[in-house]
Amino acid sequence: MAPAEASDQASGPAPTVRDQAVETADADQDTVVVVAGDELNAWRRGFTPQAEIWNGRLAMLGLSLGIASLLLIRLLT
């Protein structure tokens, strides 16, 4: 990023979380693709970032409930 670009971004208002865009760089090229936040959070079929986040949350919930139930069974018996 050139110093002129950095000063232009610093002078504007701070973007909100919804307004921020995610930049992903292609490994083979020097181009940067800007993806809107709505695009990342869209519900789609397949292995999407949104699906993987929910998969991790539900797996952690299941693991926590499983360990808690095992501890309760051991304490009560």
Number of domains observed in the structure of the chain: 1
For residue range 56-76, what is the model confidence (pLDDT) as tens digits? 999 999 999 999 999 999 999
Where do runs of H (alpha helix) occur along the chain?
A: 3-11, 37-40, 49-76
* Number of residues in the chain: 77
CA 17 to chain centre: 12
Regions of the chain short of the pLDDT cut 70: 1-29, 40-41
Residue 35 belongs to domain spanning:
9-76
**Does residue 16 lie in a domain region?**
yes
User: Which residues 6+ apart lie within 8 Å of 43 measured at CB?
Assistant: 50
* Nearest Cα to Cα of residue 34 among 43, 48, 26, 22: 22
**Tokens 């930049």 correspond to what residue?**
23
**So what's the pLDDT on residue 68?**
98
Amino acid 12 reads: G
**Does residue 1 lie in a domain region?**
no
